[in-house]
A and B are shown apart, each in its own frame.
Chain A
Amino acid sequence: SAVISQKPSRDICQRGTSLTIQCQVDSQVTMMFWYRQQPGQSLTLIATANQGSEATYESGFVIDKFPISRPNLTFSTLTVSNMSPEDSSIYLCSVGGTGSGELFFGEGSRLTVL
């Protein structure tokens, strides 16, 4: 398993601002995944971040709103841009396990937009 650290763990932000969430893994991984979990909802995949290439976004998510960086094999950032109250959610970073699809998650970043 991997140990994943996310920062910040929580934040309260004003509408129209942007926030960058950091994800650090204790081992080198090829793919990192960013999920969103809205209150009472399932985890929804935002994008897959590969080192050295642009992130791959899922339907309904765009790079201008959720730019992602992946500068090396242990680190990634997700920015939530021009935030609105609808962006209030938990954002989770995750990495894959042994290759059968199981994921390991960070503790999440709980974002509240006023």
Chain B
Amino acid sequence: SQKIEQNSEALNIQEGKTATLTCNYTNYSPAYLQWYRQDPGRGPVFLLLIRENEKEKRKERLKVTFDTTLKQSLFHITASQPADSATYLCALSSGGSYIPTFGRGTSLIVHP
């Protein structure tokens, strides 16, 4: 069955460091991979989308990589700030249906 795996343990890092979150998937051929941010009690907020033929995409302090051979995406936040503390969700969608399927998310805690 299709599976999207994100680390269930919270990632704790110090302010100013680079946070790296991982999304692995199996039995899936995604056309698009997306990352969302979700704060407690709020709906998810779309951050970045990367296509299957793209290796990397950047937006300000965010960088996403997409390795379809490893079936993995890495999400990086450089110069992290306490305000970056949130849960980050990975989502995949195939070319047949653009409606994404979500992972459980990884909680990021940036300490001042």
Contact = CB atoms under 8 A, between A and B. Distances in A.
Q: Counting chain A CB atoms within 10 Å of each CB, which of B32, B45, B46 scores highest? A: B46
A40 B9 CA distance: 12
B44 A105 contact: yes
A37 to B, nearest CB: 9
Contacts, number: 55
Contact of A100 (B42, B49, B102, B103): B49
Contacts of B43: 4, 92, 94, 105-108
Interface residues of A, number: 25
Nearest to A108: B43
A108 B42 contact: yes
A102 B89 CA distance: 12
B104 A40 contact: yes
Give the interface residue-count category, chain B: 20 to 34
Contacts of B32: 100-101
A108 B42 CA distance: 7
A102 B103 contact: no
Interface in B46-60: 46, 49, 51
Contact of B98 (A43, A92, A96): A96
A42 B102 CA distance: 6
The 5 nearest A-B residue pairs measured at CB? A105-B43, A101-B98, A101-B93, A43-B102, A42-B104
11 contacts: A1-B46, A40-B104, A42-B4, A42-B104, A45-B99, A48-B99, A92-B43, A100-B98, A102-B100, A108-B41, A110-B41
Interface of B: 4, 31-32, 34, 41-46, 49, 51, 89, 93, 98-105
